Chain A
């Protein structure tokens, strides 16, 4: 794995810790009748079946089921001060960027603002506080008179409403993104899948999806 901070286990590691021999034996005790299977065999069946179940769920839940809609977008021509104000008001850390025709042409996020301020290493809020206190001025001044299109990440990663939970999760992990605009065939925004949506989707069981 290229990402050292990845905490999610692979399916097999995950399920191996889910079920112990003691759990299986306890279940076999509770279920009346002689079960013609060894605990180890049952665990093996369960583990393989669980991977199938995960795959089934990941393939059956689609972007349309979990996305937030509508997606709040910012125009590519918007002044950065206005854009920052808009995002701050809504409590967003980023948003899709649309052109005059309403198509998603990029994504703008805190990361892009920081990059626009000339910060090229990952920094946090405390770094900015420290900088402001030390330098009698704000780092963000350099963002004045610039437009969203100057700092946005483009072209954007997007997906259609049919994208599966598995595909979306893979994009988040592999491409290090925190939000994924969901677009129609013309590239117009239909919604957005955020990390929050992804986490919530793991509470979905079969019955949650149809609604």
Chain B
């Protein structure tokens, strides 16, 4: 297949899911984001901390909407956020004076490291990017950003995923832990 032929795509698209699947995806993500957002508002915001970052919206898609995906498993969720946060903070601290470069390095390196450690979790790319473009409130956290919000927020989402995704007969979570 030559270069341009590849761009046409080959093969059919996968089928959609049933109403039950839609319901459990909705319920899980509602509860998962609720838990993180409530903790954020009640415990963290008053202390000038943050538990709620944009990348958790993306994690919710995987954790509650694509439960079986390798990308949604605990190893990937936790590893992806923690490693990406680490890379994001480091990229900002070393290259923050050139924001475009810091942003590009943070995301690209996060993807490479997640691949190498078998922790690929797409929202990790956002976690790395937010460490660079998240503004002063994020920058002031320094490496605390790795633990709060990245690790702790992901952990809360993981707990909700374990509780909700194992209720319906048609779902089980996780496929693997590590």
Residues of chain A whose beta carbon lies under 8 Å from any beta carbon of chain B:
21, 25, 28-29, 32-40, 43
| A25 in complex: contacting residue of B10, B15, B20, B171, CB < 8 Å | B15
Decide: A25 and B21 in contact? CB cutoff 8 A: no
Q: Are A40 and B15 in contact (CB under 8 A)?
A: no
In the complex, A29→B67 CA distance in Å? 16
Instruction: Give the interface segment out of B31-39, B68-76, B100-108, B136-144.
Output: B68-76
Q: Provide 27 A-B residue pairs closer than 8 Å at the C-beta atoms, listed in order of the A residue.
A: A25-B12, A25-B15, A29-B15, A32-B18, A32-B20, A32-B21, A32-B170, A33-B68, A34-B21, A34-B65, A34-B66, A34-B68, A34-B69, A35-B14, A35-B68, A36-B66, A36-B68, A36-B69, A36-B72, A37-B14, A38-B11, A38-B13, A39-B11, A39-B13, A40-B11, A40-B12, A43-B11
- Whether B7 sits at the interface, judged by CB under 8 Å, is no
List chain B residues, Cβ under 8 A from A28.
Answer: 14-15
The distance in angstroms between the C-alpha atoms of A89 and B170, with both chains bound, is 61
Q: Which of B12, B25, B70, B170 contacts A36 (CB 8 A)?
A: B70
Which residues of A have CB within 8 Å of B70?
36
Counting chain B CB atoms within 10 Å of each CB, the highest count among A21, A33, A35, A39 belongs to: A33
Q: How far is the CA of A189 from the CA of B152 in the complex (A)?
A: 71
Does B1 lie at the interface of the complex (its beta carbon under 8 Å from any beta carbon of A)? no
Given A32-B20, A33-B21, A33-B171, check contact A25 B14 (CB 8 Å): yes
Whether B71 contacts A36 by the Cβ 8 Å rule is yes
Of B10, B11, B12, B170, which one neighbours A33 at CB under 8 angstroms? B170
Q: Is the CB of B14 within 8 A of A39?
A: yes
B94 at the interface (CB under 8 A from A): no
Q: How far is the CA of A34 from the CA of B18 in the complex (A)?
A: 9
Q: Which residues of chain A come closer than 8 Å to B14, judged between CB atoms? A: 25, 28, 35, 37-39
Q: Of residues 156 to 172 in B, which have CB atoms within 8 Å of A's CB atoms?
A: 170-171
Instruction: State in angstroms the CA–CA spacing of A32 and B66 once bound together.
Output: 11
From known contacts A33-B17, A33-B170, infer whether A40 and B66 are also in contact, taking CB-CB under 8 Å: no
Tell me which residues across on chain B come within 8 A of A39, comparing CB atoms: 11-14
Distance between A39 CB and nearest chain B CB, rounded to angstroms: 6
The binding surface of chain B is classed by DSSP as loop
| Residue ID in chain B nearest A44 by CB atoms | B11
Which chain B residue shows the least CB distance to A30? B15
Minimum CB–CB distance from B153 to chain A (whole Å) comes to 22
A21 vs B11: C-alpha distance in the bound complex, in angstroms? Answer: 7
Question: CA of A39 to CA of B12 in the docked complex: distance in angstroms?
Answer: 7
Q: Complex: how many Å from CA A37 to CA B13? A: 10
Docked pose: A65 CA to B149 CA in angstroms: 61
Centre residue among B10, B11, B14, B68 by max chain A CB count within 10 A: B14
For the complex of A and B, the 7 pairs showing the least CB-CB separation, nearest first, are A40-B11, A36-B69, A32-B170, A36-B66, A29-B15, A34-B66, A34-B17
Q: Which residue of A lies closest to B15 (CB)?
A: A29
Query: In the complex, how many angstroms separate the beta carbon of A35 from the nearest chain B beta carbon?
Result: 6
Residues of A within 8 A of B17 (CB): 32-34
Can you add 9 more A-B contacts, CB < 8 Å, to A25-B12, A36-B68?
A29-B15, A32-B18, A32-B21, A32-B170, A34-B25, A34-B66, A34-B68, A36-B72, A38-B13
B residues 42-68 with Cβ under 8 Å of A? Answer: 65-68
Among B15, B71, B170, the one with the most A-chain Cβ atoms within 10 Å of its Cβ is B15
Bound-state Cα–Cα, A106 to B14, Å: 58
